[in-house]
Amino acid sequence: MLLELNDVSLSLKRDGKYVKILDGISLQVKKGETVGIVGESGCGKSMTALSVMRLLPEKAKLEGVIQLDHEDITSYSKRKMEKIRGNKMAMIFQDPLTSLNPLHTVGRQIEETLILHTDLNKEQRKRRVIELLNEVGLPRADEIASEYPHQLSGGMRQRIMIAVAMACNPSLLICDEPTTALDVTVQAQILDLMNHLKDVNEMGIIMITHDLGVVAEVCDRVVVMYAGKIVEQANVKELFINPKHPYTKGLLESIPKLGVKKAKLGSIPGMVPSPDKMPKGCRFYERCSSAMEVCKGTTPPMSSVGEEHTAACWLYEEKGGEMNGSSGSEGLEATLHN
Amino acid sequence: MALLEVKDLKQHFTIKKGFLGEKKKVKAVDGVSFHIEQGETLGIVGESGCGKSSLGRTILQLIKPTSGDIFFGGKNITHLPRKEMKELRKDMQIVFQDPYASLNPRSTVRAILETPLIVHGVGNRQERRKVVEGLIDKIGIRKDQLDRFPHEFSGGQRQRIGIARALTLNPKLIIADEPVSALDVSVQSQVLNLMVDLQKELNLSYMFISHDLSVVQHISDRVAVMYLGKIVEIADVEELYRNPLHPYTKALLTAVPIPDPTKKRDRIILQGDLPSPINPPTGCAFHTRCPVATPECKEESPELREKAMGHWASCIHVHHEQSEKTKINIS
């Protein structure tokens, strides 16, 4: 296991009091695997990534255990984190223009990572920068290395971001909406590049996105988040063919699909609750079409609903709130299938 | 007779560039012709910088066209005097992309919706009140929420308020410029469904501008694909998505990630980025990225021609008989 999050919670200080943004997140990423985290704005998908990178605001309260390569990094000091950030794990952000420094050439920005984390000499670093630029598919690498971010197009900037992230061959790469700001034809290029790099380098990738199309194309496994919690986890085919949680179902039904023309799209009524007014019980309760009495008061536990497929929903637990009801859930499932 | 007809419309912006102030032109819209029927939705798709938003704004004459003609209900409205144009604006309205920036934060929803009525001198206070209350009922916002401010609503609600505002004067045509791009998927579908319902109820025509090919497919009757200021292909929605003719449309369609992991497609990956519209390539503007370009494409600027019934494309390599062979399976 490359990365393991165990019961991770995060609280941020807002207006003098702590508000829980993430609540009991547990997930795993294996070597060479791409795990997608999907959900709508405000569900906590980016905060999950930032918690792993420990790029959190002041006074953030992080609980639980995050393990990278079987080592607990939650207790790491600031300095120790800096050593692995950009080295063992790297991150790509949504907007390449604001993530790059406008005052330095892109070559220098790639080199900076190498200065920090390797003992290559100047000559070797220069060569590695050119090598990286070639790897991410940029032509005229030596010219581009001496250009500034504003001289490049959006797609090229995102390639530079990838080059920066790849500089030290990280074992974990976190991508936060890497193609959202790009046009579709450029997005296709970048996704293609990322798939290629993954195969070559055997990285584990966390892909954060709201685009279920992107998930279907690049991910092996998917984690669906809603209001700061994980509601469903499965491998990508299983999730799309056999979604279990009403929220996942609702999401899948509300996207128009290319090649399929429907008169009406499905939709989820209402909106995401705000973190300081989280409802008790299931957080999706108010918007859920299959809500029951038990959902209102008691948080549903994660239940196994298939092979390596879990969902947090009372539909798959013994009704009436028996907490240790894995045997009961099977019984209920059987009746659901009939 | 078509509700809206646009003939050879051009919108060239002059921009200053260089130290000596030499002037350059951006051909944002460069010779575009199409029509929209009453009750019909025309989708306009293209990547950023292709001129789709400029096209919408030019039709509404929020910016004056450089040349070309716009006919609305059979009447040429390109050179109307101000007063007549104002009268005409009742019939054509716009919905913007960003529901956070397009509503005045200091006005209540009631005031936002009433303003167009006041500007156009429609009815007295009581009648206006009735119109406003009728409208919010249609878009699913409660009466007691009318005196709230935009920030008290979610993105989806705000976009619905934006749509209601466009509807206050009973328009015939609504130009929707990326109306759902800023919204989350579950909310996006609410707004799309609302737009479809309103269209049926009020017999509206939409010009639906978007970069999202799946959304455009969902809502449109016909679709036009734009590249660097020109329409490169236009056809009925089913025809266009099933049988795209222009190499750009094909690439665009295969580039869209499909939310179905069981389907693997042959993807046409275009090289490079969109060229700058300040200095577009000669001949066919797409030839620099086109997988089937030949030397002729550099020289010859292809015209939009009808390649099959109601299916127009501008590519010298697409012929009538080819259309069957070039079918690709996008689903």
Smallest Cβ distance to B330: which of A40, A253, A258? A258
Q: Tell me what pLDDT residue A271 has.
A: 80
Q: In Å, how far is B158's CA from the nearest CA of chain A?
A: 13
Q: Kindly determine whether residue A267 and residue B253, on different chains, have CB atoms separated by under 8 Å.
A: no
Name the residue range of residue A185's domain.
3-225
Does A153 touch chain B if contact means CB atoms closer than 8 Å? yes
The average confidence (pLDDT) of chain B is 90
> Residues B287-293: contacts with CB within 8 Å, 24+ apart?
B289/B248, B289/B251, B290/B247, B290/B248, B291/B247, B291/B251, B292/B247, B292/B317
Sequence ranges of chain B with CATH classification 3.40.50.300 = 4-220
Q: What is the mean pLDDT of residues B73-81?
A: 93
In a domain, A70, yes or no: yes
Please name the residues in contact with B167: beta carbons below 8 A apart, sequence gap of 6 or more. B93, B135, B138, B174, B198, B202
ipTM: 0.82
- Per CB-CB distance under 8 Å, the chain A contacts of B211 are 183-184
In a domain, A156, yes or no: yes
Smallest Cβ distance to B193: which of A187, A215, A264? A264
Does B152 touch chain A if contact means CB atoms closer than 8 Å? no
In a domain, A137, yes or no: yes
CA A126 – CA A124 distance, rounded (Å): 5
Identify the closest residue of chain B to A190 by CA–CA distance. Answer: B269
In a domain, A274, yes or no: no
Structure tokens at B191: 């707004």
Does B74 touch chain A if contact means CB atoms closer than 8 Å? no
Identify the closest residue of chain A to B331 by CA–CA distance. Answer: A259
Identify the closest residue of chain A to B259 by CA–CA distance. Answer: A213
Give residue B328's pLDDT band: very low, low, confident or very high (50, 70, 90). Answer: low
Q: Tell me what pLDDT residue B126 has.
A: 94
Reply yes or no on domain B4-220 having CATH 3.40.50.300.
Answer: yes
Q: Residues B248-296: pLDDT tens digits?
A: 999 999 999 988 888 877 888 888 888 888 888 999 999 999 999 999 9
Q: What is the mean pLDDT of residues A274-300?
A: 90
- Per CB-CB distance under 8 Å, the chain A contacts of B48 are 183
Q: Residues A10-63: pLDDT tens digits?
A: 999 888 889 999 999 999 999 999 999 999 888 999 999 999 999 998 889 999
- Per CB-CB distance under 8 Å, the chain B contacts of A190 are none
In a domain, A325, yes or no: no
pLDDT at A325 over 60: no
The count of domains in chain A is 1
Q: Kindly determine whether residue A256 and residue B218, on different chains, have CB atoms separated by under 8 Å.
A: yes
The enclosing domain of A32 has a CATH number of 3.40.50.300
pLDDT at A326 over 60: no
Q: Provide the pairing of β-strand A229-235 with A309-311.
A: antiparallel
Burial of A236 (C-beta count, 10 Å sphere; 0-12/13-18/19+): buried
**Cβ proximity of B96 and B155 under 8 Å:** no
Q: What is the mean pLDDT of residues A214-229?
A: 95
Q: Kindly determine whether residue B255 and residue A259, on different chains, have CB atoms separated by under 8 Å.
A: no
Q: Tell me what pLDDT residue B320 has.
A: 59
- Per CB-CB distance under 8 Å, the chain A contacts of B213 are 184, 258
Identify the closest residue of chain B to A266 by CA–CA distance. Answer: B189
